[in-house]
Amino acid sequence: MNLNQLFSECKGCKACHLRYDAATQVVPWETGDNPEIMFVSEAPGMQEDKTGLPYQGAAGKLFTKMVTALGYKRGEDLHVTNIVKCRPSKNRTPTYDERHVCANKWLLREIFSVNPKIIICLGLASGQFLLDKPDTKMKELHGTIYTKTLMYPNIPGDKLAGTEKRFQIGVTYHPSYIIYNGYSPAVKRLIWNDVTSILDNVGVKYTSRNQHT
């Protein structure tokens, strides 16, 4: 199944209770033309649920500003997505079980289909989950590259079922952390340094080396 088919199927998903909780629609992902970079965040919020698009609202704007400063265009150069595709009520962090259910249904297939050179997790929920380090703190995870073997879900009849592949994964703070810290330039710089260091380490080019402020 190609990514477009997967998107259409995902859009109609009703596989878990999150679809019937606060969500009005499924928010699958935004992609580009063979993107080398995949950003993975936690879950859609109110604006994402309203528009059907990932990474909207104030944190989405900060994300867009950062990737624009790196010389990327959303919808062309990047794949942006969440572990969980339906908005949890009160914007709570999805539980580990909820992440597991949705990722096995969509995210892992998405990752194998996009085959990115680097996956950058935005925030602890996606970093802990994809690296399978549920008790590790952000202080220890961020800015480092990990090589992680991921397994394609066991979907009957799917030729990739159960296959394994190694992916490069890095982690940084979610852009909302900038907002929680009063739009602190130091936090912006921290995220910028994490992302550029991760990209440098895997040899993915970006066009600006100016510090994101």
Q: How many residues bind ligand SF4 (CB under 6 A)?
A: 13
- Choice between 17 and 189, CB closer to ligand SF4: 17
Cα 202 to the center of its chain, rounded Å? 18
- When binding is defined by CB under 6 A, the residue of 3, 9, 16, 193 that contacts ligand SF4 is 16
Residue 34 DSSP one-character state: S
- Closer residue to ligand SF4 (CB): 6 or 18: 18
Q: What is the rounded CA–CA span in Å between residue 89 and residue 49?
A: 11
Site pattern 76..95 for ligand SF4 (x: CB under 6 A): --------xxx---------
The answer to whether 103 and 10 have CB atoms below 8 angstroms apart is no
Q: Decide: 179 and 59 in contact? Cβ < 8 Å.
A: yes
Give me the helix-helix angle, 57-69 and 185-202, nearest 10°. Answer: 50
Q: What is the DSSP letter of 35?
A: -
- The smaller minimum CB distance to ligand SF4, of residues 14 and 137, is found at 14
Q: How far is the CB of 162 from ligand SF4 (least distance, A)?
A: 20
19 binds ligand SF4, rule: CB under 6 A: yes
Q: Quick check: 66 binds ligand SF4 (CB under 6 A)?
A: no
Binding mask 121-160 for ligand SF4 (x = CB under 6 A): ----------------------------------------
Residues numbered 159 to 188 that lie near ligand SF4 (CB under 6 A) are none
Q: Judged by CB under 6 A, does residue 6 bind ligand SF4?
A: no
In what order do the strands lie in the sheet containing 118-122?
29-30, 78-82, 37-41, 118-122, 164-172, 145-151
Q: Which of 6, 78, 102, 124 touches ligand SF4 (CB under 6 A)?
A: 102
Report in angstroms how near the CB of residue 49 gets to ligand SF4 at its nearest. 11
Beta bridge partners of residue 82, listed in sequence order: 41
Q: Report in angstroms how near the CB of residue 86 gets to ligand SF4 at its nearest.
A: 3
**DSSP secondary structure of 100-147:** HHHIIIIIHHHHHHH--SEEEEESHHHHHHHHT-TT--HHHHTT-EEE
Binding site for ligand SF4 (CB under 6 A): 13-16, 18-19, 26, 84-86, 101-102, 105
